[in-house]
Amino acid sequence: MIFKDIDSKDKEINTLKLLYKQSKSEKQKQLILKDLKTLENGYKAEKDNAYYLDFAFKDHKRAVLLHDIRLEYNGLSAQFDHILITPSSIIVLESKSFTYKGILTINNDTSLTINYGKYTKTYPSPVEQNKRHLQVLKQFINENIELPNRIKLLGGPDYEQKVLIHPNTNITNTNLPEYFVRSDTFASERIKEIDNLSASSILLKATKMITSDIATTIARKLLTAHKPIEFDYTKKYKIAKEKETITTEQICPRCKEGKLLKRVRKNGNNTSKYKSNEFLGCSKFPKCRYTQEL
């Protein structure tokens, strides 16, 4: 069952595209382009990996799936790409995709190195990031959800974390290290595991089994606590507007304080009413609304 879909990033992507067009600085344009590519690639990775998860779990009655959950709790914040609640555990999933960025190597310390051909770049470990986020999730669930005594007495639900690698990613590792798994493989294998729970295994795990009702309760609490955040790129990249220049030293004949500035009408050139789309206006606007046609 899908409890929450991915939040759209289209607004932020379109804002960056507009800022790129408006910017007059080549240095700023390159910074905007870098942010745009990072946002687009991350969004695509999340959507692509979500496709495999959605396909596997959308109609499954024993699993609950949430995408894009952000928690702020006890002074900490955590952004989760995907949270999957199954009968046996709660799994935090981080999406990664480098299908258009080069060749991926997962290092021994679980950091990531991408070979772009002419240069390489190393990224922090998503496993360590997941561990920090997992602690926030554990605290939230333990302190906000009334779990059955059989689960609480054994320390709460079992938790897992996985880093989902897009199936088309070029990767140098012959075998994926612990915590890393291809998204299509993870979805299909986890479905088999859930569906193949035998009567004996259910009895062995019964004390910590997460029922559908418990999973739904957890999902609802997470959805209520979800605090989405939208980054305002217009504040990061302030596009300088063309300054109005003083075209005359003439003092405004109305207020006797301001000087006349050359301005352009917002609605363009209305030839039926004005001779030009440019005019002189008082620098004290809106206090003084004097205008003079050019």
pLDDT by residue (tens digit) across 10-28?
989 999 999 998 888 899 9
Interval 178-200 mean pLDDT: 79
Model pLDDT for residues 32-78, shown as the tens digit of each residue: 999 998 888 878 878 888 888 898 888 888 889 999 999 999 899 99
Residues 156 and 265 in one domain: no
The sign of the dihedral angle between the CA atoms of 146, 151, 154, 160 is negative
| Number of domains, the chain | 2
Residues 22 and 44 in one domain: yes
Model pLDDT for residues 128-186, shown as the tens digit of each residue: 999 999 999 999 999 998 888 888 877 888 899 999 988 888 899 999 999 999 888 88
Residue partners of 251: CB distance under 8 A and separation at least 6: 257, 258, 259
241: in domain = no
Please tell me whether the overall predicted TM-score, pTM, comes out greater than 0.95 for this model: no
Residues 128 and 70 in one domain: yes
**Per-residue pLDDT for 197 more than 70?**
no
Range of the domain at 153: 2-236
Residues 74 and 178 in one domain: yes
Residues 230 and 126 in one domain: yes
Q: How confident is the model at residue 109 (pLDDT cuts 50, 70, 90)?
A: very high
Burial class (CB in 10 A: 0-12, 13-18, 19+), 286: exposed
3-class DSSP state of 59? coil
The 10 Å Cβ neighbour count of residue 188 is 14
